[in-house]
Amino acid sequence: MSKKVESCAVKAESIRSSVLVGRYDHALDPKKRFTIPREWRDAMGNPDYVYVMPDPSEKCLNLIPAVEMETRLQKLREKALFDPQCNRALQVIGANSDQLTLDVQGRIRVRDKLLQFANLTTTVAMVGSVRMIKLWDPSALVPEDVIEQDELANALKKVGF
């Protein structure tokens, strides 16, 4: 029995230390679904669901793993339950977000309102952003085979890498 508990502890630790990097472009299928790549599902701990919300400053969507969202929610649980400003903010976030279940093939269906916000009509460019995945219209990004070295240098400096 202790072996099983030890195994679970290792798995939880590996989920926390996994990062989401790279870029994958996927076509929306006729039902407007797309597949989260196996590598990323593994890195997220093979979740049953993920969260999606619009980015507050760019025309893309943020796909947030359940583990990352749970970390954020834990901090919110410490706030007063009936704080009007906090509740209004949470209502705005909730109204503009979705909890999406992954099917057995790792596909999700983002609701039309969010797809329209990010101009996702035929193809989704999924870009790893370490803790989450950014969902972009591919035409809004530099071509996949281009490395913008100055932008990379600034990003590394910004995060103190």
User: Which pLDDT score is estimated for 141?
Assistant: 92
pLDDT, tens only, 105-152: 999 999 999 999 999 999 999 999 999 999 999 999 988 778 888 888
User: Which pLDDT score is estimated for 4?
Assistant: 38
Q: Which tokens belong to 25?
A: 């472009």
CA torsion 16→58→88→81, rounded to 10°?
Answer: 10
pTM value is 0.82
Q: Which tokens belong to 45?
A: 């701990």
- For the chain, the structural domain boundaries read 20-139
3-state SS, one letter per residue, for 84-147: HHHHHHHHHHHHCCEEEECCCCCEEECCHHHHHHCCCCCEEEEEECECCEEEECHHHCCCCCCC
Mean confidence (pLDDT) of the chain: 87
Q: Which tokens belong to 71?
A: 């970390």
Asked if the model's pLDDT at residue 8 lies above 80, the reply is no
User: Which pLDDT score is estimated for 30?
Assistant: 95
- What's the pLDDT band for 6 if we cut at 50, 70, 90? very low
Give the CATH H-level superfamily of domain 20-139: Transcriptional regulator MraZ domain (3.40.1550.20)
Burial 23-46 (b: 16+ CB within 10 A, else e): ebebebeeebbbbbbeebbebbee
Find the radius of gyration of the CA atoms of the chain.
17
User: Which pLDDT score is estimated for 12?
Assistant: 40
Query: 56 — alpha (psi -120 to 50), left (phi > 0) or beta?
Result: alpha
Q: Which tokens belong to 59?
A: 């025309």
Dist CA 24 CA 35 (whole Å)? 10
State the pairing for strand pair 61-65/33-35: unpaired
